[in-house]
Structure 1
């Protein structure tokens, strides 16, 4: 009996009796009798990003973050878009050669062992407009980590055997991409080439096979000497104090010169200045190099199964239009539009936050099975394998595109569906789908910024582009202000540009680009009737 009385007393104190015998308390109200929780609120100092510009133009940015570990790295205004005067593929080589032998470390193992002393890991990623070298380690090991990063970025040795191994690794990677059922990486290369006429942002990110033998030590050092300069670099840190980071960067990045300044013989004599061309969106069509046997098959995807289970042969289609740069006032509206369109694969798993109510899911991917008396056959897309929207934004331009794939026999239907979806963007946007897209974008932003490496990259990219960093609260507010009129405005802006088209696989059914552009200009997005000729296409 004593034990029962004790339980009853606890129930009375905690308010449980009220829950079981009285009125139910809504989830939006606090429980009666339960102490009000006291939440920990981050201070303004912890949320502020400090930026210091050193005497040579190198910028140092940091933001404190609770925890024992930190992420420090270098974000550089470099990438495949700047390779016009060079053999394309240099950034691909640099990404593979990163964290190899340097003046202070004899090989990659020595670099990794030094990082392991601080409980750290490292990574290098190259894109079309940036190169990022980063390391995450115990915050108490800040000085050794910055010293290592400075050596990796400014004093790499590029031994002949390392360059040759990198050449072989890239060759293997290109072979692997060719064999993969997923062709997304190659399609992104193609749509950029189509949008920017194989120039600036249209230059290949992946090293072309014909350039593998053309890239050597001197070419690499020449490129570094013009692009890895202080004014084009930001050293960013998350989870570190700002002043110690500034002092350490001054010691290892400023006071110790780069290897190519110590030894000018490493650099080629010709003076190839950085390419400062603005990206010019042109639109156009790019297909993979066709084999001699069949000009209507840009790439044979009929047998790409990695195992015994057969993977269906697919024809891939990407349609893109010019959006805007990440410095444009319409950038946020384009991001909301991207979330509103959403999309994915027909056979991918669902779940909260998946975007199952985005337009490409509700209008395309979920129209797999239907009651014939409720929905006509013409509006069923059971053959659609994938439909996904992407928005690629850069410092001076951007491209909004939709990638779709299906059986080659359905390629014209795929094009028709995607063109209709582009044309439908100019129509009315419901309040529900707009609010859902905005909420999902805000949620994704906050969730991603919880990770130190993502926050580091955000700081580095923003400071590199604009000299300062806007915090998450700014973007949350900007997203919240987007209305239906903003979506309609950016869609009209986008539909006024030329179409970019990339096609891969058996593309016999691909309509002409002129028909695609005519469909984009029509109200219902319908392609012109198929034209027949006695003399073929």
Structure 2
């Protein structure tokens, strides 16, 4: 192959030393010795868009149309599901996803899932320390990570696919046989304390506001329970508390072993070897007591008065801002209305008051056109959609100077009312195209495909393929947006407020604005100013 490339580029090999006379040079580069595979010489008039005569037609490796997209799922004898998606390349991403998280902590000390996230990939029955685990992964070019959300815990490894058996064995050990030593628990307490302090001090309040809006929307139940460990519980969580939780929720029937970039048969073989008949360190689960509570949306308000004037000091400090997040119940990701809600969220869009991007970054979304471009004093207006297996929450985060909080809240309530109004065909098509583009671009990443496969199989025992989701997105009509928005507006609002709240409207006034035709807050009359 290299020789043929050399012939194409250089036009042939020298048959001998160059002669000093012109005749031999002419013979050497004349018609009798033209470059066989070049577009010059005898093929001077053939355009680049036309195949060259005499050049063999290339044959490329192909796959059956379904094979390259198919997600295969196998259930083992103990109830554990094994799901895989083939993807060519030297590396794979493999992990275990567990149906556990902060929403299942109602009868436990709050903060267990947060602790388990920090304890992940520590010492196990086979590995004496985290360093030994990392050195084992390093032999296969591997990295590891653990993430917990309100309803899912995910242990993942990316490594060379030739080390698949080692990786699955390591994951089984990390998930089912952690040592949870006293030293590791003490280090975790320090890490959790530091993360809580960082949450309170960071200039970006979005993670804290997300925690607050869930607490307001689902007061005291399921996804409204604390995702981060409360500071008063840090000292109370010990090995016995963790084992009691693990005994109920870290069971094979609540797990999925997902892999991307691996052959399904090899993954099933490794799973059967390392995850069948394994005795966890917390013993036989016996009668499992699982919380099967359905999320109960309550609505309400959570307020946190705080001095935000010194959040970010320096030559260009961030000005003092008050942050408001306003939300309404949407739907679960299992319902048909999930896709229209996703399109509505994309249509609202938004972001900060400064962006270096153009139309591709959502500069033509409603929250840019109607809010940030018209009200220069607003620093942020962003739409978010959180969706779970039994509920969902569509919310808008806005921030502005404390003196203009009332006007900011009214602008946001008006935008909620407008969601159920006229939907322009152009903006709807733009939002649908942007959602499909974001979906397909994200799914070019192997770790994202892994998470998508794992979460879908964990929730529904199967996976909707990207082209199926794109078809559902294309089918969304303006009347679908108006219908889901109208249904959403009939519910009670959830409000999270952070900063100087002296001018924050009452919860009753916000609720009245969302029930009105124009979204205006009730007028306030004072005898004395």
TM-score by length of 2: 0.89
| Residue in structure 2 matching 1:465, options 456, 459, 464 | 459
> Counterparts of 1:429-444 in structure 2 under 5 Å?
429-444=423-438
Cα shift at 1:351:
3.8
Distance 1:214 1:199 in 2: 21
| Residue in structure 1 matching 2:122, options 90, 96, 100 | 100
> Counterparts of 1:49-68 in structure 2 under 5 Å?
49-68=71-90
Q: 1:525 to 1:154 in 2, by over 3 A?
A: same
Q: 1:336 to 1:172 in 2, by over 3 A?
A: same
> Counterparts of 1:101-180 in structure 2 under 5 Å?
101-180=123-202
Query: Gaps spanning 5+ residues in structure 2: where?
Result: 1-28, 31-38
Distance 1:83 1:325 in 2: 20
Structure 1 residue aligned with 2:480:
486
Contact 1:125 1:133 in 2 (8 A): yes
Give the superposed CA RMSD: 2.4
Distance 2:274 2:250 in 1: 15
**Could you say what secondary structure the match of 2:67 adopts?**
helix
| Residue in structure 2 matching 1:287, options 277, 285, 303 | 303
Contact 1:61 1:459 in 2 (8 A): yes
Contact 2:95 2:171 in 1 (8 A): yes
Structure 1 residue aligned with 2:35:
none
**Could you say what secondary structure the match of 1:259 adopts?**
coil
Structure 2 residue aligned with 1:18:
none
Query: Gaps spanning 5+ residues in structure 1: where?
Result: 16-30, 289-297, 368-380
| Residue in structure 1 matching 2:293, options 277, 282, 298 | 277
Distance 2:306 2:427 in 1: 38
Are 2:350 and 1:343 equivalent residues in the alignment? yes
| Residue in structure 2 matching 1:200, options 192, 201, 222 | 222
Cα shift at 1:308:
4.2
Are 2:515 and 1:508 equivalent residues in the alignment? no
**Could you say what secondary structure the match of 1:14 adopts?**
coil
Kindly tell me the number of residue pairs found equivalent between the two proteins: 491
Q: 1:224 to 1:14 in 2, by over 3 A?
A: same
| Residue in structure 1 matching 2:316, options 309, 328, 335 | 309
Are 2:341 and 1:334 equivalent residues in the alignment? yes
| Residue in structure 2 matching 1:237, options 259, 270, 278 | 259
Cα shift at 1:307:
3.7
Structure 2 residue aligned with 1:359:
366
Q: 1:167 to 1:34 in 2, by over 3 A?
A: farther
Structure 1 residue aligned with 2:332:
325
Contact 1:85 1:272 in 2 (8 A): no
Contact 2:247 2:288 in 1 (8 A): no
Q: 1:42 to 1:357 in 2, by over 3 A?
A: farther
Distance 1:497 1:39 in 2: 56
Contact 2:295 2:391 in 1 (8 A): yes
| Residue in structure 2 matching 1:390, options 370, 380, 384 | 384
Structure 2 residue aligned with 1:14:
47
Deviations 1:295-330 (A, max 9, x none): xxx112111115443211110001100000000110
Distance 1:429 1:319 in 2: 22
Cα shift at 1:10:
7.2
Cα shift at 1:255:
2.6
Cα shift at 1:532:
3.8
| Residue in structure 2 matching 1:209, options 231, 255, 278 | 231
Q: 1:136 to 1:201 in 2, by over 3 A?
A: same
TM-score by length of 1: 0.87
Cα shift at 1:181:
1.0
Structure 2 residue aligned with 1:399:
393
Deviations 1:129-164 (A, max 9, x none): 000000000011000000000001000011111111
Cα shift at 1:222:
1.0
Q: 1:33 to 1:194 in 2, by over 3 A?
A: same
**Could you say what secondary structure the match of 1:353 adopts?**
helix
Distance 1:404 1:461 in 2: 30
Distance 2:335 2:506 in 1: 32
Distance 2:113 2:446 in 1: 25
Contact 1:14 1:34 in 2 (8 A): no
Deviations 1:12-70 (A, max 9, x none): 4226xxxxxxxxxxxxxxx6789999997653212111111111111111111111110
Distance 2:341 2:141 in 1: 40
Contact 1:133 1:149 in 2 (8 A): yes
Q: 1:140 to 1:306 in 2, by over 3 A?
A: farther
